[in-house]
């Protein structure tokens, strides 16, 4: 998979660094390609629920951001992104060393963009799908990301 241009990568990374929630969770960008972004979330007690699994809120948050930034990779440099709606299905309890969220653009439009979301639990060399979803994004003209 090809990487996004250096300008797009810088724009996505700068915006990601301004997301307080992603910083709070300890999430990190690992891949930025045109129309596809990967975000990893290392396992820590602060992102788990009472049974020790990754919390659904943390799982959903990184999925939402991965899709949003996937959309942003295809937007004009002076435009911004907001999530309009997303639906996520939790397929299995999420346990492992880290979660990997993958956002992929299915259809990019002038105003609305639709993305596919998938989250994997990774432990060693085992990678299991734990959540899938779909998201609608809104492109905001003439409002650059931070």
pLDDT tens per residue, range 9-65: 999 999 999 999 999 999 999 999 999 999 999 999 999 999 999 999 999 999 999
Is pTM beyond 0.85? Reply is yes
- Domains of the chain and CATH, by start: 6-140 (3.10.129.10)
Give the pLDDT band of residue 142 (cuts 50, 70, 90): confident
CB 44 within 8 A of CB 94: no
Residue listed under structure tokens 């998979």: 1
Q: Is the confidence at residue 146, as pLDDT, over 90?
A: no
In whole angstroms, what is the distance from residue 105 CA to residue 102 CA?
A: 10
d(CA 67, CA 69): 5
């Amino acid at each position: 998979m090809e990487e996004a241009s250096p300008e797009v990568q810088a724009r996505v990374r700068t915006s990601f660094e301004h997301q307080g929630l992603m910083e709070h969770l300890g999430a990190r960008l690992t891949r930025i390609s045109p129309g596809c972004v990967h975000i990893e979330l290392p396992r820590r007690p602060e992102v788990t629920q009472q049974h020790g699994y990754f919390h659904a809120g943390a799982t959903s948050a990184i999925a939402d951001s991965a899709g949003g930034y996937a959309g942003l990779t295809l937007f004009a440099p002076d435009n911004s992104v907001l999530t309009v709606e997303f639906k996520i299905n939790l397929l299995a309890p999420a346990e492992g060393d880290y979660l990997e969220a993958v956002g992929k653009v299915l259809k990019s439009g002038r105003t609305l963009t639709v993305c596919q979301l998938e989250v994997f639990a990774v432990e060693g060399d085992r990678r299991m799908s734990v959540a899938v979803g779909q998201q609608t994004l809104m492109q905001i003209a003439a409002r650059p990301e931070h």
